[in-house]
Structure formats: C-alpha cells, structure tokens
Chain A
Amino acid sequence: MSDNGALLSVKDLSVHFFTSEGIVRAVQGVGFSIKRGQTFALVGESGCGKSTTAISIMRLLPKPQGKIVGGQIIFEGQNLLSLSERRMRRIRGNRIAMIFQEQTTSLNPVYTIGNQIAEAIKLHQKTGGKEAWAAAVETLQKAGIPDPAWRAWQYPYELSGGMQQRAMIAMAVSCRPALLIADEPTTALDVTIQAQILELLDEIQKQIEMSILLITHNLAIVAERAERVAVMYASRIVEIADAKRIFAEPLHPYTRGLVESLPRMGFPGKRLHTIPGAVPAQLHLTTGCKFHPRCSIGGRDKRCQTTEPELKEIKPGRWVACWYAPEYKTS
C-alpha cells in the first residue's frame, strides 16, 4: 500500500497475547489506510481482533500479556511503534484520541467531568487552570450538552448514558485530534440516542476535519456513516472496499453472509439469512482459510482447506482475501 495522502497507514500489524494457556494471535498481518477527514469502519464479530487493533494503534495493550510482534503504524509520517513512550504520550489524547464502549465505567467516578476534560487540555495545550476549564465548558457545548457551565461541575453518575458518551466525546476531541478511534461508541446506548451520537460525531468531524476509525459489529451504522470499510474475521482482514461498493457487491463469502443477514424492509415473511457455524475460538484455529469451515463455496475445496489466501488489491481500492473472488488469481 502506498502512503500518499494517508493520515494513518497500518502495515502488516500482528499482535499476540501471552497467556498461561498459550499464545493468542489476536491480530495477524492486518493492514489498511485512512485518509484525512475520512470515516473508516472496521467491522467484524466479537473476538475477531478489531478492538485489539484499535488499542494497538494507541499502544495501550495490557502489559505484560499483550505485545505487538510485527508491522508498522505510520501516522502523520511517523512510525508510532518506534516512538519512545514519552513521545507516544504526547500523541495520545492530542493527535489521536479514543472513545470506548462502556461510557459509564470509562469516566472516573470521583472527579467532575469538567475536571476530567480540562485535564487533557491542560496537559496537551499547556494552558492554566481557568483557561482549561473555560475550554472544557466550550467543548461540552460543542458536544451538544445543554447548560454546559453547570454540567461541568457534575459527576459522571449524575449524567444519563447518552450525556456520558457526549462527555467522553467532548473529552476526546477537546484537543482537536486528527484521528478519533471510536470503539463501539453506541453499543451500550438506546437506539434513539445512538442516532444522536452518530450525528454528533459527523458534525464534529466536519468542523475539525477529523478522521474517524469506527469499530463496530453493527452493519447498519456502517452503511449510514462510513466511507470505507474493512471486514475482519478471526484476526485477519478479509475484505476492504468503499462502503457503497461493499454493500452492493460483497466479494468475500463472509462479507456476503453479513450483508445478506441484514433484515430488509419490504420482504415480510422472508426468513432471515444466517451464516452457519460459529467464530472459532482463538486458540483453536484451523489451517488454510480461516473461514472455510463455514463457507458454502470453499468448504470442501482442497486449496481453501490448506492454503491461506492473502489480502490482495484486485482493483484500485478493492482488497479481498479469497481464492474464489473474481479476478483474484490474476493480480
């Protein structure tokens, strides 16, 4: 992959967890790139390694079990993996920010939200207490929280789930990061609030030209908000494409299964499509293509059973890892 114009370029990233039961290869050979101001979705079921990929970009893997064992993460021209911890800290919360799924437990319960937001501002922009507080209030307002001056004095438990997530977003974007990693930002919220939060992220993105790496298992959100999509299965990326194309024409059997599983309006009484089987446990992966046991095409194919297909760019901007994808062999 080439870097031109890319804000973030992940190349051949591999992450292993060293546990007492063995090595878990959570992420293997993952690569993709995100442009400035782009919304990039990383999709997959639970346990496929998407959250781990996200955490690895921030270099926040739990020590000492988690280790990045290979690859590069090029952000604004620098390889994040070669930076010292000190310099990495200057990037966290500042150039790259992250928001998490469980908004209630992700905020410190014993400090006011104003305090927590101002903390990041003080740290990265080296402002004084009063200025930082004022800036925090301003960010709360931009995050759509009514009466922000008063809210800033409140504790997380005094806010509703939706407001807490807004506060987290405010905290993350307070220093105008170039990239926001959103790990399942709406999963723990009611459906109506979900829409609001996604709207908010959209607005902020336009305002400060921020890229968003959206981690989710919810395809509906992806369809609405993402520009590019990467699909992950069992620690690998199996397909990358523009959002519109991937829904219209999914190339990988897994992607196809996912797209077809989406309930569609206008077909009452039609049975929902499912992908048979289950995601393999991390420690017991098969040889060959990781998806083949559940694949209707490659299930009995010798090649699919023995050799893992690489992720190849079969058309500009279109990547897929499947022996049976059209034009796969020729590239």
Chain B
Amino acid sequence: MERKAAVASLAVIAAYFALAGFIHIAEAFDWQIGPTLWRQQAGESYSPPGADNIFGTDIFGQSVLRKTLYGAKISITVALLASLISIAIGVPLGAIGGYFRGFVDEIIVWIYSTLSSVPYILLILAFAVVLRDRSIFGHKLTGITAVYLAIGLTSWVGICRLIRGEVIKHKNREYILAAISYGCSRRRIIFRHLLPNVFHLVIIDFSLRFVSFIHAEVILSFLGLGEANRPSWGAMINDARTELSRGVWWQMAAATAAIFVISLALNIFGDALRDSFDPKLRTRVERGS
C-alpha cells in the first residue's frame, strides 16, 4: 500500500515537472498552446466553472485553468532553482566545515547561526525586498529571480548543518582513516569517500524541503514580491481575498488544489524515500500477513 502511494506520488511530481518544462519550451519557441495562452479572453468576466472553462474565469475573463497550469511553471522553477542554490552553498560549506574544523568551521557555524536566528520567512522577505529592482553586473533582476535568489540564499542552513554533522560523524570512521593512511588527498577524501556516503541525506532533505520552497514562493507572490505580470498561485490566492466576498470561489479553489496536490505528493514521496534508506525511521508499523 505504501509502495503504491509512493509510486503515485512520484508520478504526480513528474507530471508537475513535465508541465513546467513544457511551458518553458513552449514559451521559448513561442508556441501558442494551452497554458501559454493564459492571457487570452476565454469567457465572460467571473464566469463560474462550466463546460467551456472547467475552472471558470477570473476578473479579466482569463481561464483559471490556464492560469493554474501556468502557475506550475513558476512555482516549480523557483523551487528548483532555489534548491540548486541552497544545495550548492550548503553542501560544500557543510563538508568543509565538518572536515577541517578549527577556524574555518567556526566561521561557517557563525554564519549559519546568524542566518538561522532570524525567522525564516522574515529573512526571505528581507532578501526579496532588497534584491528586487537591483542590478547585478548590469542586469536588472526580475521579480522571479529575486524570489528564487532570496529563497536559495537563505535556505542552505538546514542542509549545511546536516552535512556538517554527518561529515563530523564519518570523519573518524575507519574507512576514512584507511583512505588517509594510503595517501588520499583531502579533496579526494571529501568528494570521493565522504560525500557519497552522506548524499542520501541530501536527497531526502531535498524532497522534503521542496515543499517548503513552493510554499515560500506562494507566500512571496501573495505579498506581491513575485513576478508581477504572470499568473502564479500566490497571486491567484491574493485575488481571492476580495473575490470570495463576491461569491467567486473558483480561483482560490484551483490554486489551493494545485498546491495541495504537489505538496501531498512531495510529502508522501519524501517519507517513502526516507523510510527506504533507514528502516529504523519507519513511521508506520508493519501489518501482519
């Protein structure tokens, strides 16, 4: 039963990713199809879900279905880029700090302790506000870039701590001592010996953190810090604030459903991943035969 749930979740996750990828390609090649046509008027303003528009339309008459699908591109892309950034920062720092200890380690611990003393959302908001409208090397930062930079630059602490802890634990294990004794360079030890043994944690952390990245993106979009001219789930929920009192519930429902489904899938899959790597962490008790 658990297997089936995990496989189904993986399918859902793959579907979302495929959708996001498809929209990227479609936009690059300027295909006019489905979600890329979100701007098009699909019906009367605020028409409820019906035969032509399964999820109804918004204030501009745009198809909520198309907007929802488009929102996937933004959320998945942001979450993916933020994950890559935080892994790219967190893993090396954690490994270096854990392996070399001493002054370098103290500095790294100081940095992430400082970052983690500001509540997560506040930190992301602070970064996002400041990064918005700035320019790096002459390029102006778009809304979405600010968002994933903000999330990525602040979220590496968790994975860093994790890796650092594991490296410290593994550092004194026999297989590392053996590698040192036959003359392995330090770089080789870290990358060829240590990291592969702790990498499964990165994968588990990644799958569980992805959910929080999606939620962070939604909140940022909701607060108006995201991409201004594109539909996103957060913006849709923001619209819903005033729409609900008018009885217009479908935008809110669509966005919520979309977020809920991917979050659920990621949670289930992340759990299944964790259970398969370490049976002692099993959260379910086995049933009898």
Q: Chain A interface (Cβ within 8 Å of chain B)?
A: 18-20, 22-23, 64-65, 67
Among listed B58-66, B74-82, B266-274, B281-289, interface-contacting one: B281-289
Task: Judge whether A65 and B288 touch: CB under 8 Å.
Answer: yes
Q: How far is the CA of A43 from the CA of B287 in the complex (A)?
A: 31
Residue of B nearest to A22 (CB): B289
List chain B residues, Cβ under 8 A from A23: 289
For the complex, would chain A's binding face be called helix, strand, loop or mixed by DSSP majority? Answer: strand
A-B contacts besides A20-B289, A23-B289, 12 pairs, CB < 8 Å: A18-B286, A18-B287, A18-B288, A19-B286, A20-B286, A20-B287, A22-B289, A64-B285, A64-B286, A65-B285, A65-B288, A67-B288
Residue of A nearest to B289 (CB): A18
For the complex, would chain B's binding face be called helix, strand, loop or mixed by DSSP majority? Answer: loop
List chain A residues, Cβ under 8 A from B287: 18, 20, 64
CB distance from A35 to the nearest CB of B (A): 37
CB distance from B1 to the nearest CB of A (A): 11
List chain B residues, Cβ under 8 A from A20: 286-287, 289
CB distance from B104 to the nearest CB of A (A): 33
7 A-B pairs with the lowest CB-CB distances in the bound complex, closest first: A18-B288, A20-B286, A18-B289, A19-B286, A64-B288, A65-B286, A23-B289
List chain B residues, Cβ under 8 A from A18: 286-289
Q: How far is the CA of A23 from the CA of B288 in the complex (A)?
A: 9
Residue of A nearest to B285 (CB): A64
Chain B residues touching A, range: under 10
List chain A residues, Cβ under 8 A from B289: 18, 20, 22-23
Q: Which of B285, B286, B287, B288 has the most CB of A within 10 A?
A: B288
CB distance from B214 to the nearest CB of A (A): 32
CB distance from A17 to the nearest CB of B (A): 9
CB distance from A70 to the nearest CB of B (A): 16
Q: How far is the CA of A23 from the CA of B286 in the complex (A)?
A: 12
Q: Mark B73-91 against chain A: 1 for CB-CB distance below 8 A, else 0.
A: 0000000000000000000
Q: How far is the CA of A137 from the CA of B287 in the complex (A)?
A: 44
Chain A to chain B contacts (Cβ below 8 Å), 18 pairs = A18-B286, A18-B287, A18-B288, A18-B289, A19-B286, A20-B286, A20-B287, A20-B289, A22-B289, A23-B289, A64-B285, A64-B286, A64-B287, A64-B288, A65-B285, A65-B286, A65-B288, A67-B288
Residue of A nearest to B279 (CB): A20
Q: How far is the CA of A64 from the CA of B289 in the complex (A)?
A: 11
Residue of A nearest to B2 (CB): A20
Q: How far is the CA of A19 from the CA of B287 in the complex (A)?
A: 7
Q: How far is the CA of A20 from the CA of B286 in the complex (A)?
A: 6
Residue of B nearest to A67 (CB): B288
Residue of B nearest to A65 (CB): B286
Q: How far is the CA of A65 from the CA of B289 in the complex (A)?
A: 9
Residue of B nearest to A62 (CB): B285
CB distance from B175 to the nearest CB of A (A): 26
Q: Mark B186-207 against chain A: 1 for CB-CB distance below 8 A, else 0.
A: 0000000000000000000000
List chain B residues, Cβ under 8 A from A22: 289
Q: How far is the CA of A67 from the CA of B287 in the complex (A)?
A: 12
List chain A residues, Cβ under 8 A from B288: 18, 64-65, 67
Q: How far is the CA of A64 from the CA of B286 in the complex (A)?
A: 8
Q: Mark B249-289 against chain A: 1 for CB-CB distance below 8 A, else 0.
A: 00000000000000000000000000000000000011111
Q: How far is the CA of A22 from the CA of B289 in the complex (A)?
A: 7
Q: How far is the CA of A64 from the CA of B287 in the complex (A)?
A: 7
Q: How far is the CA of A67 from the CA of B285 in the complex (A)?
A: 15
Q: How far is the CA of A18 from the CA of B287 in the complex (A)?
A: 8
CB distance from A24 to the nearest CB of B (A): 11
CB distance from B255 to the nearest CB of A (A): 39
Residue of B nearest to A23 (CB): B289
Residue of B nearest to A63 (CB): B285
List chain A residues, Cβ under 8 A from B286: 18-20, 64-65
Q: How far is the CA of A89 from the CA of B31 in the complex (A)?
A: 73
List chain A residues, Cβ under 8 A from B285: 64-65
Q: How far is the CA of A22 from the CA of B288 in the complex (A)?
A: 9
CB distance from A21 to the nearest CB of B (A): 9
List chain B residues, Cβ under 8 A from A64: 285-288
Q: How far is the CA of A302 from the CA of B289 in the complex (A)?
A: 34
Q: How far is the CA of A50 from the CA of B184 in the complex (A)?
A: 47
Q: How far is the CA of A313 from the CA of B10 in the complex (A)?
A: 60
Q: How far is the CA of A64 from the CA of B284 in the complex (A)?
A: 12
CB distance from B187 to the nearest CB of A (A): 39
Q: How far is the CA of A65 from the CA of B285 in the complex (A)?
A: 9
CB distance from A18 to the nearest CB of B (A): 3
CB distance from A271 to the nearest CB of B (A): 31
CB distance from B275 to the nearest CB of A (A): 11
Q: How far is the CA of A64 from the CA of B288 in the complex (A)?
A: 7
CB distance from B76 to the nearest CB of A (A): 34
CB distance from A69 to the nearest CB of B (A): 11
CB distance from B66 to the nearest CB of A (A): 44
Residue of B nearest to A64 (CB): B288
Q: How far is the CA of A20 from the CA of B1 in the complex (A)?
A: 12
CB distance from B287 to the nearest CB of A (A): 8
Residue of A nearest to B286 (CB): A20
List chain B residues, Cβ under 8 A from A19: 286
Of residues 126 through 170 on chain B, the ones whose CB sits less than 8 Å from some CB of chain A are none
List chain B residues, Cβ under 8 A from A67: 288
Residue of B nearest to A19 (CB): B286
Of residues 106 through 127 on chain B, the ones whose CB sits less than 8 Å from some CB of chain A are none
CB distance from A61 to the nearest CB of B (A): 12
CB distance from A16 to the nearest CB of B (A): 9
Residue of B nearest to A16 (CB): B288
Q: How far is the CA of A244 from the CA of B64 in the complex (A)?
A: 87
Q: How far is the CA of A211 from the CA of B142 in the complex (A)?
A: 80
